[in-house]
Amino acid sequence: MIITIALSKGRIFEETMPLLAAAGISALEDPESSRKLIIPTNRDDVRLIIVRASDVPTYVQYGAADLGVAGKDVLNEHGGTGLYQPLDLNIARCRMMVAVPSEFDYESAVKQGARLRVATKYVQTAREHFAAKGVHVDLIKLYGSMELAPLVGLSDAIVDLVSSGGTLKANNLKAVEEIMPISSRLVVNQASLKLKRATLQPMIDAFAQAVQP
Ligand code: ATP
Ligand code: MG
């Protein structure tokens, strides 16, 4: 029985490699240089597939992959249907934040009950956050470069991932609210876990052992 693991390129792939190594799995090609989307490993019964970060939950949900690694940001937007999430891998850590232009008085705008225009890739997360605060928002869906939106009048605020804050600063924006801390999770197809438990459980246990606090 073949085990398929869905990963995205970049930080998730890099930070997942040591965890795979702990389970005795190593990639035979580097997805950054290879054009292959199916990457073989040292184990005949394990292969990696390379997908967009936001597509990882979908591949696992439908069983096209047995396992995957996805950010909490992506999982919140997906909703998690059909996914078992046994492990916080504590990798790709950052924070989901509300940010505004540095001269914008966010507190006053919120207090006055102003209707905020918020641009984001994370519409679900943003909707829940502002609804819980009782703030009225018009959400504008973007697919990237959220920092640009307030600079050209598309929105008053953005909801985006922040790690160092360097990109916000470079664009004259400030973070005004943390929505939630973000890290990547191991996701498992629920049917796979039942059918392939003998192979999957030891892998999950090895990942758990290797997670850095
Ligand atoms: P794409 O770049 O293909 O549009 P993406 O931006 O979602 O997709 P990445 O930038 O590789 O892909 O991010 C993958 C995951 O890494 C995100 O879902 C998030 O969980 C996490 N992440 C994103 N930005 C940061 C960051 N600045 N620091 C740490 N982790 C981050
Ligand atoms: Mg990106």
Same domain, 71 and 129: no
> What confidence score (pLDDT) does residue 120 get?
98
Q: List helix spans (H) across the chain.
A: 11-22, 56-61, 72-78, 106-111, 123-133, 148-151, 166-170, 190-195, 197-210
Q: Minimal CA–CA distance to 1: which of 205, 207, 195, 206?
A: 195
Do 186 and 169 belong together in one domain? no
pLDDT score of 49: 98
Q: Which domain holds residue 43?
A: 3-93+182-211
Which atom of ligand 1 is found nearest the CA of 92? 30
Residues 123 and 200 grouped into a single domain: no
For ligand 2, the distance from its centroid to the CA atom of residue 51, given in whole angstroms, is: 13
Whether residue 121 sits in one domain with residue 80: no
* Predicted TM-score of the model (pTM): 0.96
What pLDDT score does 128 carry? 98
Res 166: pLDDT = 97
Amino acid identity, position 137:
V
Q: Which of 9, 12, 88 to mutate to test the pocket of ligand 1 (most atoms within 8 A of CB)?
A: 12
**What is 68-121 written as a DSSP string?**
EEEEHHHHHHH--TTEEEEEE---S-EEEEEEEETT--HHHHHHTTPPEEEEES
Q: What pLDDT is attached to residue 48?
A: 98
User: Residue 101 in contact with residue 173, Cβ under 8 Å?
Assistant: yes
Between CA 213 and CA 31 the distance in angstroms is 27
Q: Is 161 in the pocket of ligand 1 (CB under 6 A)?
A: yes
- Same domain? For 128 and 144 the reply is yes
pLDDT, average across residues 177-198: 98
| Domain identity same for 42 and 122 | no
pLDDT per residue over 11-48, tens digit each? Answer: 999 999 999 999 999 999 999 999 999 999 999 999 99
The 10s digit of each residue's pLDDT in 43-99 is 999 999 999 999 999 999 999 999 999 999 999 999 999 999 999 999 999 999 999
Q: Are residues 67 and 104 in the same domain?
A: no
Q: Are residues 28 and 78 in the same domain?
A: yes
For residue 103, the domain's CATH number is: 3.40.190.10
Split into its structural domains, the chain has a count of: 2
Residue 94 is predicted with a pLDDT of: 98
In this prediction, residue 175 carries a pLDDT of: 98
111 and 64 fall within a common domain: no
* 72 and 60 both lie in a single domain: yes
CB distance 145 to ligand 1 below 6 Å? no
Q: Are strands 137-141 and 173-182 parallel, antiparallel or unpaired?
A: unpaired
Ligand number with the minimum distance to the CA of 71 = 1
* pLDDT in the model for residue 130: 98
64 and 128 co-located in one domain: no
Whether residues 189 and 112 fall in one domain? no
Query: Could you report the per-residue pLDDT of 96-131, keeping only the tens digit for each?
Result: 999 999 999 999 999 999 899 999 999 999 999 999
